[in-house]
Amino acid sequence: MADAVQGTHRGGGEPSLADLIERSAELKGQLVAFGQSARFDRWLTPLLLEAAGPERQLDEGGAIRIIDHFILRYRLPGGSTVVDRFVAGRKDLTAVDREILLGWRDPVEGIFEIQRKEKDAVVLLNLVDDLEYRTYSNVGRAAFRGVSKGGFLHTCLVPVHSAGGAWLVSGAMSSYPKSSATEIAQAAIRLATNQPELVFRNPVKIEQGWQRMREDRAAFVEFCGGDELVLPPAEAEDLLNGYYRHRQEAAVAGQPGRARGRRLPGLDLPFFELPRELADSDTIGVIYDQVDGLNFYVDYGMLRDLFADPALVARRQHQDLLRTYLREESIAPLPIRRLAAAHPETADAVFRKLLRKPGFTWSEHGEALLRRRKPWYYADEPRPGVSVIGDRLSALAVGR
């Protein structure tokens, strides 16, 4: 069948969807064999062992998910993926083959509600990004024999070449009955919360997220008195819990009909607890930025003191803290930008002493410094820090 697909393409016509799906099956089998070869053992084996845990137990579905993720998305040294290396090493691949394979590097992970069956396909609503996907399997309609409208699937999808709107199941596929709706909704909300980038595959959700974050930030500033706070960890926790309680109470008050007759879960429980590495510091910086969202910064008071008094850069403790803020990938440029903007008369002196560059000026060299130290931050478009779930997921979560 590979020859038929290639021949059709060379003859000037486009390969059919059936041809593309069959060729995808062949390529996926070869890619999986390549990814499980000895050359990748040093990276794949630890991932499987970690998932198996101390009991060394890992079911087939779990192993398939890990292998599929490893092949398509795991970054090897140098930044390439297994599929990148497979394509680079196979000179016999056609342009169609390459487009198929390289399109798999950005799979859609989600929890899907089955909308309907259409011949060999099922139409799925991704509860995470609120988009529909016409989905096929490279083993044919038999893959969907046990599923029905209103049920749910947990899987990953990859595009079928450039066939607009056609997707393939990739890796393991777990199915759940319609009666599992509440539990499925909770799992989808956790996925959306923990991996908001999955939500923002939908451009509508990006704009909704920005709008929701603007509203939340305005409420935060009104409640807390500003968008930047420096507090001891315990006070920061109390303030955030007070803020979240205030927001939840406001939401209940705004929808009295929906809240009547039932308590909102968790209303009397703490909402927020700092990670240990933050809880053990002397002060916490709490910044709710209009682009970077709500973030927390360890020992921010000490860093602020440094920018207020450049003489402190002579102290090892202050030097190490600023170097950490410049070096760590978990820290965005935001806090350094904030402090440099708040202390324009002293920022140059701080960096001249730290970097040992007498000619350094923040206005001329500051942004270039941040781009060198934190290239990951500039690699992608900014995304809102608030996930927005769709109407269908909201309905499932409350049992409708």
- Among residues 78, 73, 79, which one has the least CA distance to residue 104? 73
pTM for this structure?
A: 0.73
**Which of helix, strand or coil describes residue 156?**
strand
Backbone angles phi and psi of 157, in degrees to 5 = -120, 150
For the chain, the domains span 1-104, 107-198+389-400
Q: Side-chain half-sphere of 276: how many Cα atoms within 13 Å? A: 0
**Which of helix, strand or coil describes residue 56?**
coil
pLDDT, position 4: 35
Which pLDDT tens digit goes with each residue over 84-129?
999 999 999 999 999 999 999 989 999 999 999 988 899 999 999 9
DSSP string for 277-341: HHHTSS-EEEEEETTTEEEEEETHHHHHHHHH-GGGGGSHHHHHHHHHHHH-TTS-SHHHHHHHH
pLDDT tier at 260 (50, 70, 90 boundaries)? very low
Domain range 107-198+389-400, CATH architecture: Beta Barrel (2.40)
Whole-number Å distance between alpha carbons of 155 and 137: 12
Which pLDDT tens digit goes with each residue over 378-387?
988 899 988 8
